[in-house]
Structure 1
């Protein structure tokens, strides 16, 4: 931790967006770029993180700042590379891979995951291949092309949030469903859905507190990434 070196936190309008000002000086990214975000809502959330600091600055309590740095320093220079990585997740999306039909878990996956997938397919006009077992089957090129177009249309800050959600869930479908959520409870419900197999195994074999803590941290990170992406759009 370092000692707090500023008194006032304000938000200034800049060309292209908003920037947090510490005693009138604009915050910069780790890479040295001006940390300008696209919306006032996201800027205010970043400012709130700085205002919450005490006599010493705790870097771990500035997660939105870190995500903004990532969006500017990593995503913006090469958004196509980020999209390529996300398409790789679409090829092996968690929601498409089910247990064998004769296993009890399969029926549970069908009940929870199938409505999500069919709604996603209808919304995007695509078809996703379902797989029983772990043997890989490729997704249709037409489906991947539509998903590439969707990702290419996203603001770089939104794309950063989608990438974090996707990697945590091992599911691009889940991340894009969260992005389109119409109710604030939907992202948490989506996270619970994608953790269905983990919960199934925990109920079957017993719960381990370390695993429970890891899952809770991942959930918090997922919901934070959702909030970051949402704030970057309003």
Structure 2
């Protein structure tokens, strides 16, 4: 029960198994009758027939809010005869955070600021005009909202040559992350990894953009290519899987804010 969730999390959406795509993975059998929420010291946990799952490091998966545990329990309850961890994005995200532990929080904060330093929203195309317009429409408003909310300035650039962002901007954003808890940071890092943007993760966390607005902003270039050349089945399938991961991270952020 523990190992398969860890393995799925390590290899999610990174091309794992592409060379063996024709081989159907062997999934663990469902071994429990019901998934419920159980109060625990420090919060709440999912209980499978009364037993609380542990991470590979033997940590109980305890979350601060019952609503988060309920969302995870729903994923466990939805499993059929086999347990498919790829249909349990909330559970995998939370398990990963619990296993990593509070000691990883500073590194998670640093990673967000690192992304911001060379963020997707700050590197613009110069051609074609249709792509330039798409980027401006999706990204300019987001940058304005972020700048006003945090009281910072950004320096967008055209092309791919590195443009350093103002040190005070990065310092202020790092300071804003200081109060974020482990689960919030884990969800933000998941959003950031999927979208390629620390700024979009910050915008989502602070309610400056909706999840749909963040998703659209993250896929401006891809959607532009689709408008020109049409959809590619493999990319469409991969995007659908990433959307499930994104939605789980966005939902976790929303539950933590509620």
Q: How does 1:78-227 map to 2 (within 5 A)?
A: 78-100=104-126, 103-181=129-207, 186-227=210-251
SS in 2 for 1:77: helix
Would you say the 8 A contact 2:105–2:182 is kept in 1?
A: yes
Pick from 32, 41, 56: which aligns with 2:67? 41
Partners in 1 of 2:242 and 2:140 — Cα distance? Answer: 23
When structure 1 is superposed on structure 2, of 71-80 and 139-148 the one drifting more is 71-80
Superposed CA deviations along residues 46-104 of structure 1, whole A, max 9, x for unmatched, are 11112122233222222222111111112522211112222111011111111127844
Would you say the 8 A contact 2:147–2:154 is kept in 1?
A: yes
Structure 2: give runs of 5+ residues left out of the alignment: 1-26
C-alpha distance 214-62 of structure 1, shift in aligned 2 (>3 A): closer
When structure 1 is superposed on structure 2, of 127-136 and 142-151 the one drifting more is 142-151
Q: Which residue is 1:76 aligned to?
A: 102
C-alpha distance 219-55 of structure 1, shift in aligned 2 (>3 A): closer
Please report how far the alpha carbon of residue 24 of structure 1 lies from its aligned counterpart in structure 2 after TM superposition.
Answer: 1.8
Structure 1: give runs of 5+ residues left out of the alignment: none
Q: Which residue is 1:17 aligned to?
A: 43
TM-score normalised according to structure 2 size: 0.83
C-alpha distance 61-91 of structure 1, shift in aligned 2 (>3 A): same
How many residue pairs are counted as aligned between the two chains? Answer: 232
Would you say the 8 A contact 1:101–1:132 is kept in 2?
A: no
C-alpha distance 98-13 of structure 1, shift in aligned 2 (>3 A): same
Please report how far the alpha carbon of residue 119 of structure 1 lies from its aligned counterpart in structure 2 after TM superposition.
Answer: 0.9
C-alpha distance 4-158 of structure 1, shift in aligned 2 (>3 A): same
TM-score normalised according to structure 1 size: 0.91
Partners in 2 of 1:96 and 1:40 — Cα distance? Answer: 38
